[in-house]
A and B are shown apart, each in its own frame.
Chain A
Amino acid sequence: MEILVCIKQVPDDSVEIFLNENTQKPDLEKVTPVVNAFDTYALEMAVRLKEAAGGEVTVLSVGDDSVKNSLKNCMAVGADHAYLCKLDDYNETDTFTIAQSLKESKEEIEKQTGKTFDIIFCGKESTDFASAQVGPVLAEMMDIPVITGIVDIEEKDGGVETRQETEEGYHVISCQGLCLVTVNKPKYDPRYPTIKSKMAARKKAIDELDTAKAGVTVLHTEKVYTPAKRSAGVKIQAESAEEAVAQAMDLMKKAKVF
């Protein structure tokens, strides 16, 4: 199976990011760029599918030179090839431009290598803007079906069978022919690179593509601001738990919460 995994480089989501009131932009200084968490799940799932069904995994991202590091990291955990569609300010770019650039890049990779992809993986959403739009829009642009929020996939009867997480359980959805899946957190964690795989990845080339293509966006950000914070109430630090609960009960009774 020829698998394409689209990844986005985002600021590390384990760090709290706030607005810099002077620049009116998110304060990203000192925040390490990482591969979007849901994209790491997508890559792990794709690599497991490759290990079971054969073929190769190609990763693709849209971004500036800094994204090469993320792509190298992907090659250290199972991706065979990596491509970067060059675009500065990728983080502020609209959904349609990103999706259009991914589509053009996919076609260019197919032209250059002579292979055709059987399936495209994306993360369910990014951890920075979390709009969950690029995957479905890319599928729609390519006129192929999309299965969102999957937590498992296997090759079956020449196509794929997926498990899509729902509020109450899951759907089993199958598809024959090219499709796009977006990946939610599966039961397993992405593998860690080894020293050997890191060394090997470092030696591999990242092919640059000039396939970025601006889409037309009609959206305009009028204002960026920090949400109003609730003010803190009373913090009880009593000698004993009994005393703390008694104080808390007094306050709650006064506030008539029961």
Chain B
Amino acid sequence: MKLTNVKDYMVYVELADGAPVNASLEILTRVSRLAPKSGEQVTAVIIGQNVSEGAQTAIAAGADKVICVEKEISQLEEYVQILTAIGKKYQPRVFFFPATQMGKDLVPVLSYKFDTASITDVTDIVEKAEGFDYVCSSYNGNILNEISYEAGFPQIVSVKSSSFKKELDSSRTGEIISEDIPVDRSLIKTELKETVKEIAEAVNLEEAQVVVAGGRGMGSKENFELVKELADVCKGVVGATRPAIESEWISRAHQVGQSGKTVAPKLYIACGISGATQHISGMSGSGYIVAINKDEDAPIFDIADVGIVGDAVKVIPLLIEAIKKEKAQ
């Protein structure tokens, strides 16, 4: 089912606990800058319950139109049915998704339905004379690939969070369109029996101004507490590397890197982190990087603004005291 009469850019706005995820808002802001030049508009799509507040946020972030589907659904197959119907009706030139778990599941399935192709984890959009190229990485972020579509619409891409800056302008206005799209339950072959919440805390790494992260070099769960203390003092959010999470020092909601979150805070303090590419690719966009590591040859020092060669377990308590003193002044 190729689309031939395409126009406008469509952005799927995923909701988490009723609010739009950052990655979707970041895409809206970025695409709203690109759209006017090409005479296109930006349409957001929201599916869920009580979506009106989310729709307003989407408009503030850059949507000209918001298609609202008021429906409580939870399964991939239901989302696929609704988004396929919307794609068919509105014929977008590009269909953007946040590269969340859901977004990454939707993109390949929809690309097959629309007989086109999809690109996962896009980190940049390059403007061309006609349309866009998309940048994504391979080999843990060591190599970047700029990819174009030779033919076929809609172009379907998922965009990694923190790739762009979101800007909310509450004075913006936009049109709200309500769509009622039926879901054919008889086509759904899986059953969602239970949703279990294991991680109670809300970890908003992507929006944090300060991230204090710990890695294998912290040595133990007890020592990892120091990372949390330092984060408290800096009013930051705790991050962690994959080894720290696999050692169960902290929940996986805190993971920064290729297989976790991509962050770009103003200040990033890396404690006992050697700096494997898998981690660096998730935090190298940070404003100011401080690294503490025993190994003076650790690759993290190649990208740090300030590197302290030393045992993080000894350095952090001193740093906490110094920052407390600084803040008290």
Which residues of A come within 8 Å of B, CB atoms?
A: 11, 13, 16-19, 26, 94-96, 127-134, 136-137, 139-141, 144-149, 161, 166-177, 179, 217-227, 229-230, 232-238, 241-242, 244-246, 248-249, 251-253, 255, 257-258
Contacts and interface: CB of A to CB of B under 8 A. Distances in A.
Given A171-B196, A244-B308, 12 more contacts: A133-B108, A161-B193, A167-B253, A174-B190, A221-B146, A222-B133, A227-B142, A241-B318, A244-B315, A245-B322, A252-B288, A258-B234
Contacts of A96: 112, 117
Interface of B: 16, 76-77, 100-101, 104-105, 107-109, 111-113, 116-121, 133, 136-152, 188-199, 234, 253, 258, 266-267, 276-277, 284, 288-290, 296, 301-311, 314-315, 318-319, 322-323, 326-327
A134 B326 CA distance: 52
Nearest to A13: B140
Contact of B306 (A167, A226, A230, A248): A248
Contact of A173 (B192, B301, B326): B192
Contact of A149 (B101, B145, B266): B101
B117 A94 contact: yes
Q: Which of A26, A218, A226 has the most CB of B within 10 A?
A: A218
A187 to B, nearest CB: 10
B194 A172 contact: yes
B151 A218 contact: yes
Contacts of B120: 130-133
A19 B137 CA distance: 12
B318 A171 contact: no
B326 A148 contact: no
Contacts of A219: 117, 119, 147-150
A138 B284 CA distance: 34
Contacts of B100: 167
Contact of B144 (A171, A218, A224): A224
A230 B268 CA distance: 14
16 contacts: A11-B139, A16-B140, A94-B117, A136-B105, A167-B16, A172-B192, A174-B191, A177-B189, A217-B117, A221-B147, A223-B146, A224-B144, A226-B142, A234-B306, A241-B311, A248-B319
Contact of A235 (B148, B190, B198, B296): B296
B326 A258 contact: yes
A120 B276 CA distance: 33
Contacts of A252: 288, 290, 306
Contact of B305 (A131, A136, A220, A233): A233
A17 B108 contact: no
Contacts of A238: 310
A218 B108 contact: no
Q: Which of A127, A132, A179, A229 has the most CB of B within 10 A?
A: A132
A249 B326 contact: yes
B133 A248 contact: no
A57 B76 CA distance: 27
A61 B288 CA distance: 44
Contacts of B101: 148-149, 166-167
B289 to A, nearest CB: 7
B303 A229 contact: yes
A245 B150 contact: no
A255 B305 contact: yes
A127 B190 CA distance: 28
Contacts of A168: 197-199, 253
Contacts of B136: 131
B111 A17 contact: no
A19 B322 CA distance: 42
Contacts of B194: 171-172
Contacts of B150: 218-220
B108 to A, nearest CB: 4
B27 to A, nearest CB: 18
Given A233-B304, A257-B266, A179 B142 contact: no
B54 to A, nearest CB: 18
A249 B322 CA distance: 7
B327 A225 contact: no
Contact of B314 (A141, A233, A241): A241
Nearest to B322: A249
Given A144-B189, A171-B194, A18 B105 contact: no
B190 A145 contact: yes
A248 B308 contact: yes
Given A133-B107, A230-B284, A245-B322, A26 B138 contact: yes
Given A128-B138, A141-B112, A219-B150, A241 B143 contact: no
